Structure 1
Amino acid sequence: MTAAAGARPSPVAISMDVFSSMEPLEQEWRALERDDYCSLHQSYDWCHAWVQTHNSPLAILRGQSGGRTVCILPLEISRRTIVRKASFIAAPFSNINTGLFDTAFRHSIGAETTRALRQQITSALTHHADLLHLSNIPLLWRNQRHPLAGLPAVENQNHAFQLPLFDDFQATIAQLNAKRRRKKFRNQQRKLNEHGGFDHIVAESTDEKTRLLALFFEQKAVRFADLGLPDVFHATETQAFFHHLQHSPREGQNAALELHAIRLKGDYSGKISAIAGLSRKGDHVICQFGSIDASLVPEASSGELLFWLMIERCCAQGARVFDFGIGDQSYKRGWCPVETVHHDIVLPITPIGHIAANAQRLLTRTKSVIKTNPRLYACLQKIRAKGIKPSQSNDTDD
């Protein structure tokens, strides 16, 4: 129950323990993730696919109060030089992170409970990590303040972009320049029809999903090479992670990964000109990735056409948010009237963690400065194109 307006929530007694594997928590985990507030990136299936394909040690925090589980923070430990960092599982490919919190507990959190959470998290991680770094958290999401908003945080260099959806697709695009959008869509259809037409397909069979995902990796590699950027999908374990995801069980409309594509007919019969991967949890749809084959009718902008068709389908299926994910790109601004600010929670655990926390905050702020300065950003891209290996990230502009 939400506290009455103006009332200060009573402090909640909480204890925290640590797990090195996911399986003992599965039942509690799946119960918490049913809350639509909680990001699908902290869902059991998403995290399990990553753990199955990566070897990082886990330090999963479970918070309990009054004998019931009220929160789970799915963390993995990475080491850089001498610093052990605890981050959300699969953070390099997460567009929005929330952790998992019981609904009533979320609404009961006040300043004293936040202090207790900080103390319990620090104590639980003392022998596992030097630094807690929880990235891409919207401190305000679905008109609710995040339960960890009171912890030390820095604004992330990347924002996320969303399109609110309505049952009526025409009402959805009315938020944009609808007349221009419709004209562009008709032109895209006409240009593809001049070559024999197209189909919007959604992969159903195991073979079709496997082939389409493999083709996405091929298309994306070519695209990155053309742009002089490193291929963040190149690693074998990264590709294995997405293959695991697409075979996760569906529950109603919910899907860990659903593959959409434009398949051409006529002159280019059977060729795939655009691919996108969508995830859905509740009424929230996230576009995880997309690719195009620039050699196939490039004047038709198949990638943009595919977005139109996917969004139209999501409206008909009752979704309420189409999330284009993190990273500021012109096509996202063209589709999205909503821009969401993300923050990183940076909490030192040990003395060396205090030094690492200051360095992490400085790094994040430096990235923000670079990304808002076109000359600096262009220079960085040239350096990266010469072969300096980046850290993995789902933001190809990061």
Structure 2
Amino acid sequence: MANTDFTLSPSSGAEPHNSSTLPLAERHDAGRITISIHFDAAALEAEWRALDGNNRNSLHQSFDWCAAWTKTHGSRLLIVRGALGREPLFILPFEVDRGRFFHTARLIGSAHSNLNTGLFGNDAEPAPRAELAAALTEGISAHLRRFADVVMLDRIPSMWRGAPHPLSAVPGIENPNASFQLPLLGTMERTLAQLNAKRRRKKMRISEKRLDAIGGYEYVVARATPEAHALLDTFFRQKAARFEALGLPDAFRDADTRAFFHALIGTFEKGRDAGYLLELNAIRLKGEHEGRVIAISGLSRKGDHVICQFGSIDEEIAADSSPGELLFYRMIERLCGEEVALFDFGIGDQPYKRSWCTVETRLRDIILPLTPRGYLAAGVQHAVARTKRVIKANKTFYEFVQRQRQRRQAKSVEDD
């Protein structure tokens, strides 16, 4: 076979024109893979939304999710677009984190993404993965080094929805955390049959009995209403209290991050696999504690895949009723009747996730150094990932590290 070209050029009007042609791989039947860099998401909106329709693409790289993030964070976009012949093959939306020592290009909003896949079209499936990997890595290295020292594609599954991910041929390292999912089988009875159904129902009845003793509860679902925004603010307060109790930094403290989640409320995905970017679910008390919200979860839906983005409980009242577990039961029960096939508990290994989930998805981090400084950054990232894996594999040591973090946090508060 003859060698093919991989053409790289920025979009017009955004940056000075700079293109090169790189012979990288053999031609396959579908033609050339062309990689280009763009700086205006609106110019790619039609293609972007079309790729959103692929059910295997994560909601976290969808057009509306990324638009909300860039609007609230003021991010400068670097959008890598790949085409197979004339057809769009993939879109990878990056923002640049300008650190003290390194500039790192990351997928938009990675710090709050439970799963990253990028956006790949159906045509990515027949494309030879080695060729796709070569085009992507060489293309990024040739062009993004003007803007970043290293590229981080983190939380990428090797396998997703029963198929290898298109980036599975690109070398990477195992992420210290996995994600956890529960298949929904049409009814709550069939879904619970995958688990210890008897124990799960017993826990639900105990929770309801304890809540009935103080006046009962209601299960609340809120989307595009003031109630949803009020529930989100309650979540921020509950989560801040929980982080403080654990001696951990509040991941939702920044005003722009809070504005981002508020911006997601009432935004619905468009296209073939419609859904919602953020739906607030809650357990709210009746009776003597009328209106008190004791458990909150934020859900996102794309097609038949629902992700739990976050959750919190009020630990000051009725904590012995396990309101978080009760909320998961009610959400899953409802979604079983709404054609959802997969309930995703997200990234991070927690006992409650393992008690609910039958699927554990291992995730990978792909680190592409672009400059000499980037190679140093990649080495640091590899060392940090290895250290985290070792620590988390040793339960005793991990608990010790957590206690030390709590002590440091407590001392910092005292000093203030």
TM-score by length of 2: 0.88
1-structure distance, mates of 2:376, 2:224 = 50
1-structure distance, mates of 2:265, 2:386 = 35
Alignment correspondent of 1:54: 73
Alignment correspondent of 2:291: 270
| Pick aligned residue for 1:157 from 168, 172, 176 | 176
Structure number with higher relative contact order (C-alpha < 8 Å, ≥ 6 residues apart): 1
Alignment correspondent of 2:324: 303
Paired residue secondary structure (2:125) = helix
Change (3 A) 1:356 1:9: same
2-structure distance, mates of 1:253, 1:226 = 38
Alignment correspondent of 2:366: 345
1-structure distance, mates of 2:93, 2:269 = 21
Alignment correspondent of 1:94: 113
Deviation at 1:176, TM superposition (A): 0.6
1-structure distance, mates of 2:293, 2:132 = 52
Alignment of 1:232-311 (within 5 A): 232-249=251-268, 251=270, 254-311=275-332
Q: 12-21 or 86-95, which moves further after superposition?
A: 12-21
Paired residue secondary structure (2:91) = strand
Post-superposition Cα deviations, 1:308-361, rounded to whole Å, max 9, x if no partner, equal 000011110010000000110000000001111000011111222122112211
1-structure distance, mates of 2:405, 2:198 = 40
Deviation at 1:58, TM superposition (A): 1.8
Structure 1: tracts of 5 or more residues without a match: 1-7, 389-398
Q: Is the 8 A contact 1:200 1:263 kept in 2?
A: yes
1-structure distance, mates of 2:347, 2:224 = 30
2-structure distance, mates of 1:312, 1:39 = 23
Q: 102-111 or 150-159, which moves further after superposition?
A: 102-111
| Pick aligned residue for 1:131 from 150, 154, 160 | 150
Paired residue secondary structure (1:74) = strand
Structure 2: tracts of 5 or more residues without a match: 1-26, 410-416
Alignment correspondent of 2:21: none
2-structure distance, mates of 1:351, 1:227 = 39
Q: 181-190 or 86-95, which moves further after superposition?
A: 181-190
Post-superposition Cα deviations, 1:108-136, rounded to whole Å, max 9, x if no partner, equal 23323322222122222121211111110
Q: Is the 8 A contact 1:152 1:347 kept in 2?
A: no
Larger Rg: 2
2-structure distance, mates of 1:257, 1:109 = 36
1-structure distance, mates of 2:223, 2:260 = 19
| Pick aligned residue for 1:382 from 396, 403, 410 | 403
Alignment correspondent of 2:340: 319
* Number of equivalenced pairs: 382
Paired residue secondary structure (1:157) = coil
Deviation at 1:267, TM superposition (A): 1.7
Q: Give runs of ≥4 in structure 1 deviating > 4 Å.
A: 8-12, 250-253
Paired residue secondary structure (1:126) = helix
| Pick aligned residue for 1:37 from 56, 69, 77 | 56
Deviation at 1:277, TM superposition (A): 0.2
- What percentage of aligned pairs have identical amino acids? 48
